[in-house]
A and B are shown apart, each in its own frame.
Chain A
Amino acid sequence: MSNLTTNNLTLAYESATIIRQLHLSIPSGQITALVGPNGCGKSTLLRGLARLLTPRSGSVLLDGKAIHSIPTRDLARQLGILPQSPVAPEGLTVRELVAQGRYPHQAWFQQWAAEDEQAVMKALAITGMADLTERPVDALSGGQRQRAWIAMTLAQETEIILLDEPTTFLDLSHQIEVLHLLEQLNREEGRTIVMVVHDLNHATRHASHIIALRDGAVVASGPPAEVVTPALLRQVFSVEADVVPDPRLGVPLCIPYGLSAPLHARDGAKEAESVPHAAALLQREI
């Protein structure tokens, strides 16, 4: 079981430091959800864990080895990342996209081994995309498209899969479809999954470990029942909420009813922080 941890990790964009001296451990074989308000650094942290962002200081460790010292191709066979809403080139079919997941396993003289073909077929089957293989990705519905990208990440056959807001821009049924798929991957294939999610109730229902961040620091981490409390919601999201047991699963269910501090006060206090945050985010988006 690969073990992903951070040691004194500091992540920064050119002008703004987002994550400061973070010590973190991702439990192997579980689904971990990173939650927190906008600009708290959860996506930045995920990018750091996936070596898309080089640490300003400290390190991300995979089985005790700094990932920045591991050749990127070797790392890509152990850890996969699906960035937020990726865009496929025009006309690329589902089959071609999923086959790209085999990239780190291939070489110039070994471009399409039998294992590659099997991994792609398996990924297509698990994600329910086997009937859509010849369709261009850009012609699919949002949910299908997301499943196609997840299939690509699956074909990579990594023990750890990181996903940045895998349910964004999806309607409710497709959100549930994607989350169930991730649960299935975790349960049946034992993959370690780390995802950034916006909806706290998605986190409590589908993750076994929650890491709550605010202003680049971890406020709480642990199983949903321990982490999600009215006090934490006040502290992390500045909301007042009832936390009741989910009628079906018994996990905490949050029902927000008000703000614990006026938003402008919260944002005012954070202004010095959030302006560079916004600038850094903008730099990424443009």
Chain B
Amino acid sequence: MIKRSSAPSLKPETPWLTARTPRLSFRVDKRVPPVLALALLATLAAMIINIGVGEYPIPPLDVLRTVLGLPTGNEDYSFIVNTLRLPRMLVAALVGMALGVSGAIMQGLTRNPLADPGIIGISAGASLVAVTLIVLVRDVPAGVLPVAAFAGAAVTALLIYVLAWKGGDSPIRLILVGVGLAAVAYALTTLMITFGDIYDVQRALIWLTGSVYGRSWEEFWPLLPWIVVFVPLACFMARHLNALNLGEEVARGLGSRVAAHRGLLLLTAVALAGATVAAAGTIGFVGLMAPHIARRLVGPDHTGLLPTAGVLGGFIVVAADLVGRTIFAPIELPCGLVTAAIGAPFFIALLWKQQRGNV
């Protein structure tokens, strides 16, 4: 039963869609369903186009038919689409989704519009541990890498929490400490690479650039469970994130179990960020941009904001990969480079706005 909520005595028109039975009730901003549907469609379209382009171009309709297992009249398509290009696209979409949700959680928790797993060094910490593992241990199983990256991300998040957050929520301080930690982590990563075996180093370098190049089902399957567990968990926690987003004191006054909720949400954000690093290296600024765009489109309520930021994140990474593959074809730019080219000015604009707002 879906009806528009109404209050005859006051404003009949509310910006919410309400679904209500005696035992269940939910509400979401009216803008969420259309925006989500459009963003999903755009992402799927970008994925299909992206799968179609390359040395061996395939028409979009045939891509769709091949993915769905329908006959296309060309036997090569199945190998090219389902074995080579589809897993890469799925990895790109999942990575983007995880980054978008992770960034939205971090921005909501810290009440800091600049928070992003890449900017505050969480991805750098994840890379350091993953690269160390690649260099020190030969043939790391694909399933171990996400766990290692998660551990690195978690340690960095803990350091940031202790160094920058505990005393209060000064946005610039968090960013400065995060950037500092990221620099340290990158320096240590470089050190690992310098001393590493040439074969391992090459592998680590490809992976570090932040790219979905050459990603296969081997990378997709270890990534999937992290997304399947933590994205729904984040959406499940949206209510609590809304309360925490009002500030610690207000949240506690409203009866939020601040430490538990904050801990679980932070764990979710860190797990998602770590999983993306393990799958695709550091793709920067997606966790910054996706939540901001989502907030513009559906408002700050996390019930709608988290899924929207996730889908938009997926779109950004898929589109960035498409641009990277086509703009200087046949040379491929890593999608991390493309997101940085758009994201860095975006970050500077936000920083500028933030500084002016504080004066």
Contact = CB atoms under 8 A, between A and B. Distances in A.
Interface in A122-167: 124-125, 130, 133-134, 153, 156
Interface in A17-69: 50-52
Contact of B14 (A75, A95, A156): A95
Nearest to B243: A103
Given A91-B295, A117-B7, A103 B300 contact: no
Nearest to A138: B357
B24 A109 contact: yes
A19 B60 CA distance: 72
A100 B20 contact: no
B27 interface: yes
A117 B5 contact: yes
A86 B300 contact: no
Contact of B10 (A77, A116, A125, A134): A125
Interface in B168-188: 168, 170
Contact of A104 (B10, B27, B254, B299): B254
Contact of B167 (A73, A133, A134, A286): A286
Contacts of A106: 239
Contacts of A121: 7, 9-10
B40 to A, nearest CB: 23
B247 interface: yes
Contacts of B168: 285-286
Nearest to A153: B253
B255 A76 contact: yes
Contacts of B23: 109-110
A257 interface: no
A108 to B, nearest CB: 7
A82 interface: yes
B25 A95 contact: no
A111 B7 CA distance: 17
A231 B148 CA distance: 69
Per DSSP, chain B at the interface is: loop
Interface in B150-165: none
B211 interface: no
B295 to A, nearest CB: 6
Nearest to A110: B25
A72 B246 contact: no
Given A109-B24, A112-B25, A130-B11, A86 B249 contact: yes
Interface residues of B, number: 41
A89 B250 contact: no
A83 interface: yes
Contacts of B14: 95
A93 interface: yes
Contacts of B82: none
A109 B27 CA distance: 11
A252 interface: no
Nearest to A92: B300
A83 B20 contact: no
Given A50-B253, A111-B26, A112-B20, A90 B239 contact: no
Contact of A80 (B15, B249, B253): B253
B299 A76 contact: no
Interface string B230-243: 00000010010011
A52 B18 contact: no
A278 interface: no
Contacts, number: 112
B10 A124 contact: yes
Given A100-B243, A100-B246, A111 B27 contact: yes
Contact of B254 (A96, A100, A117, A124): A100
Nearest to A51: B252
B243 A83 contact: no
A9 interface: no
A265 interface: no
A75 B255 contact: yes
A101 B243 CA distance: 9
Interface in B18-38: 18, 20, 23-27
B190 interface: no
A10 B303 CA distance: 40
A228 B7 CA distance: 46
B189 interface: no
A83 B247 CA distance: 10
Nearest to A47: B249
Given A86-B247, A87-B247, A113 B253 contact: no
A96 B299 contact: yes
Most A CB contacts (10 A, CB to CB) among B26, B111, B249, B253 go to B253
Contact of B255 (A73, A108, A117): A73
Contacts of A15: none
Contacts of A52: 249, 252-253
Contacts of A75: 255
B239 A103 contact: yes
Given A110-B24, A111-B26, A286-B170, A83 B7 contact: no
Nearest to B257: A72
B256 interface: yes
A173 interface: no
Given A52-B252, A111-B27, 17 more contacts: A74-B255, A76-B253, A76-B254, A83-B253, A89-B246, A89-B300, A90-B300, A92-B300, A103-B256, A106-B239, A109-B25, A112-B5, A117-B5, A133-B11, A156-B254, A285-B168, A286-B167
8 contacts: A52-B249, A72-B256, A81-B253, A103-B242, A111-B239, A153-B253, A283-B167, A286-B170
Interface of A: 50-52, 72-77, 80-83, 86-93, 95-97, 100-101, 103-104, 106, 108-114, 116-118, 121, 124-125, 130, 133-134, 153, 156, 283, 285-286
Top 8 nearest A-B pairs (CB, nearest first) are: A76-B255, A104-B255, A112-B27, A81-B253, A73-B255, A83-B249, A103-B254, A112-B25
